[in-house]
Chains A and B, each alone.
Chain A
Amino acid sequence: MKNVHGALLGAAALLLSTPSLAQTALTIATVNNGDMIRMQGLTSDFTSKNPDITVKWVTLEENVLRQRVTTDIATKGGQFDVLTIGTYEVPIWAKKNWLVPLDKLGADYDVADLLPRIKDAVSVSGKLYAAPFYGESSMTMYRTDLFQKAGLTMPENPSWDFVISAAKKLTDKEAGVYGICLRGKAGWGENMAFLTAMANSYGARWFDEKWVPQFDKPEWKKTLATYVDLMKEAGPPGASSNGFNENLALFNAGKCAMWIDATVAASFVTNPKDSTVADKVGFALAPNAGLGKNANWLWAWNLAIPAGSKKVEAAEKFIAWATGKDYAKLVASKEGWANVPPGTRTSLYQNPDYLKVAPFAKLTLASIDAADPNKPTVQPVPYVGVQYAAIPEFQGIGTSVGQQFSAALSGSTSVDAALSAAQASTEREMKRAGYIK
């Protein structure tokens, strides 16, 4: 009994003698992908430099996170201090005054080092509203061995005509090798990300300058008909349910001769731990139709501070740490240059150590540079965004159109029927939202 009393007294004395630090606890909402998980693992570097700040992570699947964070920010719920949001949300939320402008990230943050396209995508009226953590575009990944065997040479800037003919030539259905793997799963961030980028290269656009939907125009018909025909002839079976992960698995298993998708996939397909074709992959720009636009998109995951947050100062410190120049060095020192989050800073693409381990770096940079969110397609558009239109209604409209196009791919509807259904549903939604009468 005496011992228990002694222990209790000792514990109390210890508690009283501990200096009371005013701790600021940051709650950070983020998505589950390799770079973000790595950042969580490196949090101790930040907290050791900022002993008055503790960090708690809420990791969620992308769509769950989007819904969760949107509800919280719209109702000023105050559950999160730092948000991970995409380039789609940044301009919309900034215009609603939901985000704190990031103009106090410190003197050594070097905003000028951010890649211009990415910086544009997260700025509104010249002010930064989110700091890019990693950025991506899309490009063509192809099997060098299969191309060599077929006597084909992939140009650095291929045309759709070349890609289509190569895909048909390389398809060997009996051996289970398909000429091309493309996204087919319905969703504004799934098949519509790819198809909108492809449509841009064919000169199509979502809306004209007066916000009138354009699915009844020949450019969209050309895009969708080309895509459906190509996938029927040279795509894998059941492509209408394939998204990024499914295509990644197919490509890594050696089932695809070509795959046009996110530049971030380059590090996955060249990693021998994950890929059976790691040493047989080449890279090229996303295809073009000779109209001056390639079929590549632009995306970045960014860190932002919700307006009304009571911990802005601590949140700014964290964002400056996670997206600053030193973070790349920190990752490189612990996990190697190949694992540094790509696509945000010019300095990374000038770093010889990084260029040595990332053979795809030059093309990633070229792809990002080629995607202009302010002028995404051949004709003028009233919206910002390459593979999306940054308006709140787009998530719903994009997914609904994506379902029509996925149905056209699976054969349950025709290309013409899918386009007229897309036109009708988009027109209805745009009228309801007051963009058109």
Chain B
Amino acid sequence: MARMATSRHVAVSTIAAWLVGFLIFFPILWMVLASFKTELDAFAIPPKFLFFHWTTENYAAVQERSDYVHHALNSIIVAGGSTLIALLIAIPAAWSMAFSPTKRTKDVLLWMLSTKMMPPVGVLVPIYLIYRDFGLLDTLTGLVFILCLGNLPIVIWMLFTYFKEIPKDILEAARMDGATISRELVYVLTPMAVPGLASTLLLNLILAWNEAFWTLNLSTLQAAPLTVFIASYSSPEGLFWAKLSAASTLAIAPILVLGWFSQRQLVRGLTFGAVK
């Protein structure tokens, strides 16, 4: 009897989990479906779910009009570059704050986070002027730099939280054995923090991939990533939903695949230290 109740409970929670999962995934599914519709079907009222004339004409139109590979490569360079540089800066910063805190460490952390509280548009003009004078407008270097700066507070905070969970004694033992600071960081701390590092890396990669404000404002052609590619298909006057959906599907495809394959790491990292 108890077993029956348990299996019923499992079945109900499984169905509920699938339902919630489906609801969360639905907007993406709808976008993918819309990308295979004609513009008329994409706007049909009532909406057509599966029974419509399937077509790949939108993908062909998008390919013809835009250089997807150019934008995708830019996205990979900008998201990957900014994430790696942010990690290189954040690991030593988080390490020093986690293992050698001072009485001002908390203030420093809060100050870092406070930079994320200002809307970016507030500093658009000064940043634009600096970029203009340094010749960084529409360059990959410029985008990597701004996204790295933008995400650095979050990366440091996440790593700080993970590092704090690592027992100090292990690092002390390494030092007793004569490990230098760099060896301690590379051979002791980093391997222990792999789940945390992996999830920080992935989250930062996703944030940088999706970042639209700076990438739209500081790039024109050469450095334009996929956000610019998507923005070129949106229109307040004209039916472009199907083409926009095709462009969006193409834009999220790489990061979706990456997220799919690394979800185990991501979940493990995000729940790291949550249960003691």
Contacts and interface: CB of A to CB of B under 8 A. Distances in A.
A binds B: yes
B36 to A, nearest CB: 17
B237 A262 contact: yes
A36 to B, nearest CB: 9
Contacts, number: 95
A75 B132 contact: yes
A34 interface: yes
Contacts of B217: 67-68, 71
A60 B232 contact: yes
B239 A61 contact: no
Contact of A274 (B65, B232, B237, B239): B239
A64 B231 contact: yes
B223 to A, nearest CB: 11
A74 B53 CA distance: 47
Contact of B65 (A37, A77, A248): A37
A171 interface: no
Interface in B27-48: 39-40, 43-45
A249 B217 CA distance: 31
Contact of B43 (A61, A72, A76, A252): A252
B238 A33 contact: yes
B231 A61 contact: yes
A180 to B, nearest CB: 16
A30 to B, nearest CB: 9
Given A60-B231, A274-B40, A249 B239 contact: yes
A264 B128 contact: no
B221 interface: yes
Nearest to B236: A62
Contact of B125 (A71, A250, A275): A71
A32 B45 CA distance: 24
B236 A79 contact: no
Main SS of the interface on chain A? mixed
Interface residues of B, number: 30
B125 A74 contact: yes
B235 A252 contact: no
A272 to B, nearest CB: 10
B43 A79 contact: no
B40 A244 contact: no
Please indicate which of the listed interface residues A40, A71, A76, A248 has the most CB atoms of chain B within 10 Å of its own CB. A71
A252 B237 contact: no
Nearest to A56: B221
Interface in A35-83: 37, 40, 56, 58-64, 67-68, 71-72, 74-80
A339 to B, nearest CB: 13
Please indicate which of the listed interface residues B39, B129, B239, B241 has the most CB atoms of chain A within 10 Å of its own CB. B239
A395 interface: no
B132 A58 contact: no
Interface residues of A, number: 44
Nearest to B121: A67
A245 B237 CA distance: 6
Contacts of B231: 60-61, 64
Given A68-B217, A274-B40, A77 B137 contact: yes
A62 B240 CA distance: 13
B45 A249 contact: yes
Nearest to A78: B132
Interface in A374-406: none
A58 B68 CA distance: 14
B220 A80 contact: yes
A101 interface: no
Contact of B39 (A60, A250, A274): A274
A60 B228 contact: yes
B232 A33 contact: no
B132 A244 contact: no
Contacts of A72: 128
B258 to A, nearest CB: 26
Nearest to A77: B132
A273 to B, nearest CB: 7
A27 B222 CA distance: 11
A64 B216 contact: yes
B237 A244 contact: yes
Contact of B236 (A58, A77, A245, A250): A245
Contact of A33 (B43, B45, B138, B235): B235
Contacts of A245: 43, 235-239, 241
B132 A189 contact: no
B210 interface: no
Nearest to A80: B220
Given A75-B132, A77-B132, A62 B45 contact: no
Contacts of A56: 221
25 contacts: A27-B220, A27-B221, A32-B232, A33-B235, A33-B238, A37-B65, A56-B221, A58-B228, A60-B231, A61-B232, A62-B235, A62-B237, A72-B128, A75-B128, A75-B129, A77-B128, A77-B132, A77-B137, A245-B43, A245-B235, A245-B238, A252-B43, A253-B43, A273-B40, A275-B40
Given A61-B231, A80-B220, A253-B43, 6 more contacts: A32-B238, A60-B228, A61-B232, A62-B235, A64-B234, A190-B236
The 5 closest A-B pairs by CB, nearest first: A249-B43, A61-B234, A59-B232, A32-B235, A253-B45
